[in-house]
Structure 1
Amino acid sequence: MTSVRTLLEIPELRLRLRTGSALLGREITRIYGTELPDPGRYVSTGELVLTGLLWWREPGDAGPWVAALAEAGVAALAASGADTSGIPEDVIQACARHRIPLLEVPADLSFAVITERVVLALAAGRGREPSGARKRLLSTADAPLPVLLRQGAEELGAACWVLSGTGRVVGGTSPEAPPVEWFTPGSERTVHDEYTLLPIDGRFRIPWILAVRSPEADDLTDELAGLVSLARARAEEIRRMADRAAEPLFATLTGGPGDLAAAFAASGRVAPARVVLVRTPGSDLARELLTEVLAEVPVSFGALGEDACAIAEVDPQWPPNWTSSARHRLSTVARFTDAPRVFAGVSGPATVDGLRGAAQEALHALELAARRGEPVAVVSGEDVAVHRLLIAGAPDDLRRSVRERVLGPLLAYDAAQGTDLVRTVRVFLECASSPTAAAKALHVHVNTLRYRITRASELLGLDLSDFATQVDVYLALQA
């Protein structure tokens, strides 16, 4: 058994106990590192949690953070105060209050060293002396995902990939990756033809799947999956830190105080840029989905109201088929999540001065997507007529009021007489007010068409040959 006391007895780690001397017998089953401001969903029973305290800003922050660890049943917390001049007293007190053993990590000790030694200790505690292959794999524990996969493929003697639940190939050692649809959701391991697919630590709502071109995966495959999980957690923490740096940008984007150009420059983004919004009614999945559909693009993430928002660079990475690709990814992930409806809206490219307008365009495109009645809809502002964007931005009550005020008499007449003059007027206007073209589209004689338009004009009290009136009536029809 590997306990908290076991770690304190490893000389090269030089860990120092700050609180929890009566709890050293707790068994450690796994190791996980996090800097997330709310770690509750990502930690689990028996874990040794590593943190550099990047989430801590001021006294009071530690209470809820440590409470989340205690509620999850973690074994201990190992913290490095390299960036905060030692572990804050607030953290020590919170750990003592919630009965979490707190180990101080020397500022010059890499978390990769701790991870490697803990994993080796866990393997030894289970009666399995780590093989040379496992030791070589563990030596890449702190390496980027491509390096980790290359080492894994070398030790396993088989090509390896990491797939996202959206179908995206996160990384791999061969271009011909198997489809994520081969994996059976909820299973611990799926064998399909010559491939083995297994889930990677389900701390995130959108899963990652490790695929190995071998039907006989062994414990080393599980080890690789665990290290990929750590790599994903590190990448997410880096992204969260970047999001924090971009907070002033999204505050000014939505009309808050500050200089938008300065905030944009500070975020590290380069114009032109697009604004992208994702909404998942009844679910908190929008942020993860937005990350997935923009995985290949330099981007800053934030929020616009209750919608997940991103500002994405356009050149040179923006894919020409982004809308259809995003729709496909959002549809694929439905196998793994509980988000029955997903809507996305994206603006056209904009300069820094035009970002606020781009945000409104993306919001209007999102509203149009939400009104389509489809479970997954992605709309680009560039593909929508200007009048539809303007109407989408109007509140529902205003649109109903305009429709009733302009078309009320015609709607009432159709309802009473069983006619369809409203459709006649719409087709007439869509045919550029050409009686001949409209009559052909409606399969009626042109004189019949002229009579109907005259009758509609009388009921509305409007001249349907006047261009400004035509615009008003057409907008009311679209509302």
Structure 2
Amino acid sequence: MFTLASLLEDESLGLSVLVPGPPGALEEPAAWVHNTELPDPSGYVRRRELVLTNGLWDDRIAASGFVANVQRAQAAGIVFGLRSERPTTPEDLVAACRDAGVPLLEIAAAVPFTAISEAVATRYTEERQGALVGMVRRGDALATAISRGAGASGVLRVLRRDHELPLAVIDRMGRLLASAGTELDTAQLHTVATGLTRRPPPLELDLGAAGRAALYLVGAVGDVDAALICLRPVSELTRVEQDALDQAARFLSLEVAKQQAVQAIELRFASELLEMVLSGGSRDAEVPGRLRAFGVDPEGPLAVWTAAFAGPEATLPGLAEVIGEFFVAAGVPVVVAAGSQDVVAVLSWRQGEREAALLAERLAAAVGERFPGHRAVVGLGGTARGPAGLREPLIRSREVCRTLRRGGAGPAVRTFAELGPHRLLLGTQNAVALRTLADGVLAPIREHDARRGGELETTLRAFLDHDGHWQATAAALRVHVNTLRNRLAKISELTGRDTSRTADRVDLFLALQAADMV
């Protein structure tokens, strides 16, 4: 882009101002130059082009009409070229430009219009060369920042060397990865995260008091993982600024991909730790080393917590990362492993159960803030004196979490001891004993269901959940009471336990609980 003022500074063009136009008009960017002698060039002149003319139209249209047509095309102004036949600019053209507020320049007869075209082309070439050089230089700086581990903050620092823009990098979980020249509150971060879930994501968002912000999407593996936010609308950004932001967003994709790879390795490493704890045996010796790799002291007391969302949707992408961030912020060394139905945390813990419950409630609240509309629950499995004792707290914490998920609007945090004596009893048994109890009672029912596509186990669970009430159970299953009676009779026949007797109901209930725990 060029301006009329920049052309006036070039003495070789021999330009002079006859009508400056409105204040600041000479400093407004112009798009290009357009040489025309048409009475009405409005159909050909593009917006912000500078019209060059010798006035050969004056025998077909009045000066005021020509100026009106130029103004309708939203041209940047008019340059009138003097000739030997017309050594001065017509007064009626000067008057028409003054009345219409259209800038009017005069060029000497000795200077051809091609001199202006060449000057403008030279400026464009210099501008594009400068932009290209700047992009290459900035690309080198961005690559250096990424390779040296400067992260998203390093990318923003490089970007702000040339452009003083208010910037932030926010991921799809609403986490602020970096910022420069601006501060965003929790609501604004959530607005961006919500916008990134749309398909397609928006290129601008209204951030309330911060105004409209331009979004430059950052994707690592074919999906939108984050966004580079500029707290200005796109309409207020120059082409050079837009190109710089787009370039920075591409380099941020490399940084996000690197972070995702590291997180994937850490989550896999943590998941293998849980497998070692649950399997026991020959892999017990590997557990202390895995704990040390995450900064957890294997020689000290170790607590196991399990978190999930209440209701059918137990986990969501990013839950493990949010939980890990919480413990880091709290200064608690931890290993966080994501499962299909929960997220398990093994942490160093030297305080009591009361302090654990208070921190767990803060964790549930923090997760709820990051995932609006979802209620987080946390099961505390107790502590172990070293890696060898982790298995039972792990099983207990998962059982507590599973119970809380089904508990509706109950407490968000509970310990295993608060669940009831029957779970305490089952919690003292190993996996083999629990599986033996469950299979010994439930195997005939499950074989029948698998062979005939029946729902005997579902019916038994519903019957016990409704305390043996026939009408309530039938309503929950949406079957007739007689159908329910027939199913329970079949259960009694297969298991040898009468669902109407308390002792037999206890056997059936404990078998179901044991099955859930293993």
TM-score normalised by L of structure 1:
0.46
Q: Which has the higher contact order (CA 8 A, sep 6+)?
A: 1
Which of the pair is proportionally richer in helix? 2
- Structure possessing the higher radius of gyration over alpha carbons: 2
